[in-house]
Every structure is written in structure tokens, then in C-alpha cells.
Amino acid sequence: MSALRARVIELYKQLYYMGKEYPAGAEWFHPRLKKAFLKNKDVSDPKEIEALIGRGQFVIKEIEALYMLRKYRSLKKSYYEEPLPLAEANLVKKINANAP
């Protein structure tokens, strides 16, 4: 039981830490994080706790992916020329195909 408790606390710390750079702000993220944990404070079935930790780990992966993508996109926007948007590119293709 205490081993699970330690893992839940570790999960909370990790999410709290990641929330510091959340795009909507830590002030947005932290209260919601706390609420999500408090909502399940009475859960006592080890299997259920395990499942909830699993969900927490999934959220961590999602946030990591979000940060990575955000950084990648902003760098791409500032340093690389944007490729033509799909609709525009298709139009260009069509015009070229019809050209004599």
C-alpha cells in the first residue's frame, strides 16, 4: 500500500513539475491537477489505483508530446519556409497539369 502511495506522490510531483511550463500557464494547470487527484482520494482498491497511475503516466506522455510539437512548430515557423498548404499545392498541380 505504501509503495503505491509513494508512486502516486511521485506522479503528482512529476505532473506538477511539467505543469510549470504549460502553455495556458501554471496557474491554470496546477489547480486542475490538484482537483484531479483529490477527486480520487478515497480510492482504496489497489487495482483501481494502479489503473489511475497508468492514466497519469499517459497524461505525462501526452504533455511531453505537446511540448515537443509546440517547440518544433515554432522553430519551423521561424527558421524554415512554410511549404504550400495542401489546397494551394493541389491547385498549383492542377494548373500545371492543364498547362499546354
Smallest gap from residue 83 Cβ to another protein (A): 13
Residues at the site binding another protein, with contacts judged by CB under 8 A:
10, 13-14, 17-18, 23, 64, 67-68, 70-72, 74-76, 78-80
CA distance linking residue 12 with residue 29, whole number of Å = 12
CA separation for the pair 1, 46 (Å, rounded): 7
Residue with smaller CB distance to another protein, 4 or 43: 4
Residue count of the chain, please give it.
Answer: 100
Residue 40: CB minimum distance to another protein, A: 21
